[in-house]
Amino acid sequence: MKDVSTLPYRPCVGIMLVNPHGKVFVGKRIDNREGDWWQMPQGGIDEGEDLRAAAHRELWEETGVAREQVTFLSQTREELLYDLPEELVGKLWKGKYRGQRQHWFLGRFEGTDTDIDLNAHRPPEFSEWKWVEAELLPDLIVPFKKRVYRAVLEEFRALI
């Protein structure tokens, strides 16, 4: 077994997508069978990809929301890091990473609910979705990401 502390963090973007009523998009991951966990869209940054371009791409892949249907209002000042639980290191991302380093964007959704298409990209990542009160986010996410969700909420709260 590799020494986990020597593994790098996977570069990633996350998107807090907020509708006109101030509610936040969350999706239920298809691959999570061990709990009722919901998360905001997020994903890896491709080699040489601009952060904002990565955020638009990930948002489209996971939700079907097109570039012209969202306006990014803010970005976290610093990267937010999280470590995977020991039992997941080696199972995710071919064992190359210890966790993720994330840049988060706050996006105002300017479309309608019918514009959301979880099957826009194959394979889909979410089985269902909903709008939730922002304050509920830390309660909906897997435990090892709670600290990151609290930090994102704190940084974006005034703009939601």
For residue 2, what are the contacts with CB-CB under 8 A and spacing of at least 6?
90, 95
In this model, does residue 91 exceed pLDDT 80? no
Strands 99-109 and 80-83: what pairing?
Answer: antiparallel
Residues 139, 35 contacting (CB under 8 angstroms): no
Does residue 128 have a pLDDT over 90?
A: yes
- The pLDDT score that the predictor gives to residue 48 is 96
Q: Are strands 99-109 and 9-18 parallel, antiparallel or unpaired?
A: parallel
Predicted confidence (pLDDT) at residue 7 exceeds the cutoff of 70:
yes
Average pLDDT over residues 123-146: 96
Q: Which of 146, 154, 145 is nearest to 84 (CA)?
A: 145
Q: How far apart are CA 45 and CA 67, in angstroms?
A: 17
pLDDT at 130: 98
Instruction: Please give the pLDDT value at position 1.
Output: 55
Q: Angle at Cα 39 formed by Cα 37 and Cα 42, nearest 5°?
A: 140
Predicted structure pTM score:
0.93
89 falls in which pLDDT band (50, 70, 90)?
confident
What pLDDT score does 2 carry?
65
What is the band of 86 on the pLDDT scale with cuts at 50, 70, 90?
Answer: confident
| Total number of domains constituting the chain | 1
Q: Domain range for residue 78?
A: 4-159
Pick the residue with more confidence: 1 or 70?
70
- Is the pLDDT at 32 greater than 80? The verdict is no
**CATH classification at residue 129:** 3.90.79.10
Nearest-CA neighbor of 18 among 132, 148, 140? Answer: 132
Q: How far is CA 30 from CA 18, 25, 27, 52, in A?
A: 22, 16, 9, 25
Band of pLDDT at residue 88, cut at 50, 70 and 90: confident
